[in-house]
Amino acid sequence: MLRLKGNRLKVRYDHSAYLYLLPAFLLLGIFTVYPVIHTFITSFKLDYRFLTGEHTGWSIKQYLDVIKDPVFGRALINTLFIAFICVPCSMLFSFILAIGLNSINRFKGLFVTVFFLPQVTNVIAAGMVFTFIFNTHVGLMNSILGWFGIEPIAWISGEGILSSQHRYNVAYMHSLFVLFAYSVWDGLSLHILLFLGGLQNIDRSYYEAASLDGVSKWTIVRKITLPLLSPTTIFVFVTSVIFSFRAYASVIALFGGSFGPPGDNSKMMITLVGYIMDALGNYLTPGAVSSASAAAVILVLMVMTVVYLQMRWTKGKVFYQ
């Protein structure tokens, strides 16, 4: 609070603001800070029993077991695939579509609404639609391939994979493509809106000057649009990668609780969050919650490392008007 004292203004701090912030601090502490600290402590408890809270000691064995687990390795590969293959491809398609939408005037609102629909579509419903699209017998994808004389492909099938490593690898690649298609489609809506907002904030005078100089459209995109859109691009990339490490619902929607096509018992399409949830499903088993907590801590450390590297890499690459 400011009070006039003589010819000077005296600042008096009113601590009542902390009283208004107290409910938010309490909620933050109970539902965010405490679970993080408790998870970190639980990850070191050996043979931890969830119902009784008993444990036989303290150890890093849970971390070693998680790192050595081949299912965790598969989950790591799948998560990194979503983060660094699906996300950049989705951003590329979104950027192209955003440029197209930004260049039209009629029906722009309609197209924006259509592209935004995936953002408000139920994940399970969308997964069912994609499962139908990639159905071996009546799927749209195989129908399109049939127009070109290509035999139907068992996109989501684990038939015979237990008897042949080659069939397993083929089934994994097919399932990976389905996950790729879904992840790219799922990210289009929000990415398009963000890129479209960034494009509309670029001063039109840059384009007018380039047009008067006879600069080609590709050069305009490369020399004007991309540099001035870099704040939006980096924001989209960083946030999308962070969210991609949380991928779980999309895999459940496409492949079910088995984390793989029918006939697969190796959880070939599991993600890091799926690995944690799968371990928590065995919470009655001694040490299961500790393993899940260790995997969660590893996931947090990975996200922090990736974000740090992203910020270091993008430092000095952002241009403002």
Please write the tens of the pLDDT for every residue from 49-94. 988 888 889 999 999 999 999 999 999 999 999 999 999 999 999 9
Q: Within 13 Å and on the Cβ side, how many CA atoms surround 246?
A: 4
Domain for residue 165, yes or no? yes
pLDDT in tens, 86-136: 999 999 999 999 998 888 877 777 888 888 887 888 888 899 999 999 988
170 within some domain: yes
* 56 is a domain residue: no
Q: Is the pLDDT of residue 221 over 70?
A: yes
Q: What is the mean pLDDT of the chain?
A: 88
Q: What is the CATH number of the domain that holds 105?
A: 1.10.3720.10
Q: How far apart are CA 165 and CA 151, in angstroms?
A: 22
pLDDT digits (tens, 9 = 90+) for 170-179: 999 999 999 9
What's the pLDDT band for 5 if we cut at 50, 70, 90? low
Please tell me the predicted confidence (pLDDT) of residue 320: 64
Which pLDDT band, with edges at 50, 70 and 90, does 17 fall under? Answer: confident
How far is it, in rounded angstroms, from Cα 4 to Cα 204? 48
Which residues neighbour 65 within 8 Å (Cβ) at sequence distance 6 or greater? Answer: 291, 294
Specify if 3 maps to a domain. Answer: no
Q: Is 9 a residue whose pLDDT tops 60? A: no
* Per-residue pLDDT at 183 exceeds 70: yes
In terms of residue numbers, what domain contains 106? 69-314
Candidate from 34-38, 45-49, 80-84, 212-216 with smallest mean pLDDT: 212-216
- Residue 72's pLDDT is what? 95
- What would the two tokens of residue 176 be? 């990976």
Structural tokens at position 53 = 């809270």
The token duo for 40 is 């970190």
Q: Is the pLDDT of residue 166 over 90?
A: no
Percent of the chain with pLDDT over 90: 46
The CA distances from residue 48 to 36, 41, 53, 288, in Å, are 17, 11, 7, 8
152 φ/ψ angles, rounded to the nearest 5 degrees = -55, 140
Asked, for residue 275, whether it belongs to a domain, the answer is yes
Let me know if residue 26 belongs to a domain: no
- Give the CB-side neighbour count of residue 148, counting CA atoms within 13 A: 6
Is 246 inside a domain boundary? Answer: yes
Task: Return the DSSP state at 57.
Answer: E
Phi/psi of residue 205, each to 5°? -65, -30
What percent of the chain clears pLDDT 70, i.e. is strictly above it? 94
Q: Residue 271: which of 289, 248, 255, 250 has the closest Cα?
A: 248
SS3 5: strand
319 — pLDDT class (breaks 50, 70, 90): low
What are the structure tokens assigned to 223, written together?
């020399």
Q: pLDDT at position 8, please?
A: 60
Residues in a beta bridge with 57:
46
User: CA dist 12 to 7, 19, 21, 312, Å?
Assistant: 16, 17, 19, 41
For 229, phi then psi, to 5°, come to -95, 0
Please indicate, yes or no, if residue 12 is contained in any of the structural domains.
no
How many domains, in total, are found in the chain?
Answer: 1
Lowest mean pLDDT among 197-211, 262-276, 287-301: 197-211
Q: Check residue 159 and give its pLDDT.
A: 76
